Amino acid sequence: MDMLIGGKHISSDDLEEVKNPYDGEVIDTVPIAHRQTADLAIVEANKAKESLQEMSAFKVSNKLYNVCEKLKENREDFAVLLTKEVGKPINESLVELDRSIETLKLAAEEAKRIYGESVPLDAGLNGKGFFAFTQRVPLGVVAAITPFNYPLNLTIHKIAPAIACKNTVIIKPPTEAPLTVMKFAEILNEEFPGGVVNTVTGYGSEIGNYLVESPNVDKISFTGSVTTGLMISQKAGMKKVTLELGGNDPLIVLKDADIDKAVKGVINGAFLNAGQVCMGVKRIIVEEEIASEFAEKLVIETEKLVMGNPLDSKTTLGTLISQKAAIQVEETVNNAVNGGAKILTGGKRDGAFYEATVIDDVTPEMDLVVGETFGPVAPIIHVNSLDEAIGVANDTEYGLQAGVFTSDYSSAMRCAQEIEAGTVFVNKQSTFRTDNMPFGGFKNSGVGKEGIKYAVSEMTKTKLIGLNLR
């Protein structure tokens, strides 16, 4: 599949194979671009700014609705391609398509309500006789650097609001899973002038760095690792950045919780997309009085998951993105076992598969729960009080999302107020998200917010216009 730059298809002498992590099949190849190709994309994106900004909000909105309808018409084909390149179960891919369609609708709606406001200058010294108002204007060119785990939906979360407020975009799709994103860019290109949407494939160390450092790119929106995010923040200069850098999300289960609901929350939160979710349940903090019962019920439900061919609708646990990723999870779990933790179920790897694993007697200093373990692992940490639970929840460099299960709303509100995270859910796991809510974390989980309305705010700048009526 070729890159799309300035409305034209561009290839390269260097190609990268995109393989199905389930069976190793080569699905397609994509070009390995270099700096001159990235520079061409920047030039074309800047050339296209005028044609996009001349469109009315009404027209931009309608075109985004058209893209939404085309994606809906091709929902099943996109889902199959997504499953092949990522390894997630087909039913999860269909959910990602449904969310992507919903996100496009939200962007189409938001395109028609990008408001300024009147400013009472007479509230300030010498302001009598002035009338002033603000406009929200586009930044210019937005570069979206996107991850493999939800390649389509997370790309749309960046580029749909960018286009809604009349920015042109350059997409650097994930090296491991670029095809769904590139196919989607073709639909956008059918609706918008050439150069409004551009795709550049290649390695982040070269292409990503070039986009970050270019003075002709006005914003970087990145989802990925803390290490890369810190590098971007240092190299971006004066351009705006939104960084979604993952999480180590806690789920607190207090002794008065509905245990069955909490177990369901862990199943949905720790094993979704084989645990490759930035807001997935990474640490289960359980009060000692109920820990044994909770663990027993969690094991029973975990063992109901079906690991197999991701294209089989009966499969509920697919592969990780690669065998290398599965080996890394395996080593991290084994290190925890060597440190005294106990595997209650799972713990075995087969190629890129890693079994859904429940591991008990985990301590807060183990690497398994200090870093972000990107795999289907549910680590249980025992605590003796609410105070201790909140302390353990906050003992991390991350602060994306969190959940607490309890029937005591006094305890719930303490958690909501004291847990250091961008979102805290009560009686729901951290993986819950609607595509219109503000999404983004504290601490090393990043800066800025996604969620269409909030992303539009991050992708515009405010201009004041003042009229002297004296």
In angstroms, rounded to a whole number, what is the distance separating the alpha carbons of residues 278 and 250? Answer: 12
In angstroms, rounded to a whole number, what is the distance separating the alpha carbons of residues 389 and 381? Answer: 9
Q: Could you list the beta-strand ranges (E) of 182-271.
A: 197-199, 219-223, 240-244, 249-253
Tell me, yes or no, if 165 is annotated catalytic: no
CA 404 to the chain's CA centroid:
22
- How crowded is residue 88: how many other Cβ atoms within 10 Å of its Cβ? 29
* Strand (E) or helix (H) holding 169: strand 168-172
Amino acid letter for position 243: L
Looking at 44, 278, 330, 415, which residue is catalytic?
278
Nearest to 409 by CA among 431, 386, 380: 386
SS3 category, 123: helix
In angstroms, rounded to a whole number, what is the distance separating the alpha carbons of residues 459 and 457? Answer: 5
Q: In the structure encoding, which two tokens stand for residue 349, read together?
A: 């790897």
Instruction: Summarize the chain as % helix, strand, coil (round to 5).
Output: 40, 25, 35
Please give the span between the terminal C-alpha atoms of the chain, in angstroms, as a whole number.
62
Residue 120 half-sphere exposure toward CB, CA atoms < 13 A: 2
DSSP tag of 280: S
In angstroms, rounded to a whole number, what is the distance separating the alpha carbons of residues 183 and 337? Answer: 43
Contacts of 95 (CB under 8 A, 6+ apart): none
Looking at 176, 244, 372, 458, which residue is catalytic?
244
SS3 category, 109: helix
SS3 category, 395: coil
Residue 92 half-sphere exposure toward CB, CA atoms < 13 A: 27
- How crowded is residue 383: how many other Cβ atoms within 10 Å of its Cβ? 21
Nearest to 431 by CA among 284, 296, 293, 302: 284
CA 333 to the chain's CA centroid:
25
Are the C-beta atoms of 108 and 339 separated by less than 8 Å?
no
In angstroms, rounded to a whole number, what is the distance separating the alpha carbons of residues 382 and 109? Answer: 46
Tell me, yes or no, if 17 is annotated catalytic: no
**Active site (catalytic) residues:** 244, 278
